Amino acid sequence: MELRDHNGLKYLIFPEIEKLGMVDHLVSTRLGGVSKGCYSECNLSYTRGDEKEAVDENYRRVSDALGHGRKLDDFVLTFQTHTTNVRVVTEDDRGKGPAKARDYTDVDGLITNIPGIILGAFHADCAPVFFIDPVNKAIGLSHSGWKGTKGKISAETIKKMTENYGTDPKDLYCAIGPSICGPCYEIGEDVASDFSQAFSEKELSENQILVPYPEGKYRLYIWNAIKLTLIQSGVPKEHISITDICTRCNPDLLFSHRIHGEKRGNLCSFLSLK
pLDDT at 113: 98
Three-class SS of residue 22? coil
C-alpha torsion angle, residues 144, 149, 151, 156 (rounded to 10): 60
Q: State the fold for domain 2-180+236-273.
A: CNF1/YfiH-like putative cysteine hydrolases (3.60.140)
pLDDT tens digits for range 129-152: 999 999 999 999 999 999 999 999
For the chain, what's the residue count? 274
pLDDT tens digits for range 74-133: 999 999 999 999 999 999 999 999 999 999 999 999 999 999 999 999 999 999 999 999
Residue 131: how many CB atoms within 10 A of its CB? 27
The full set of domain ranges for the chain reads: 2-180+236-273
Buried b / exposed e over 158-194, threshold 16 CB at 10 Å, is: bebbbebbebebebbbbbbbbbbbbebbebeeebbee
What whole-number distance in Å separates Cα of residue 56 and Cα of residue 98? 7
Query: Going by C-beta distance under 8 Å and a sequence separation of 6 or more, which residues neighbour residue 37?
Result: none
- 1, 74, 112, 174, 267 from 31: Cα distances, Å: 16, 22, 29, 25, 10
Amino acid at 82: H
Question: Are the CB atoms for 26 and 15 separated by under 8 Å?
Answer: no
pLDDT at 231: 98
Percent of the chain with pLDDT over 90: 98
pLDDT at 69: 92
pLDDT tens digits for range 42-60: 999 999 999 999 999 999 9
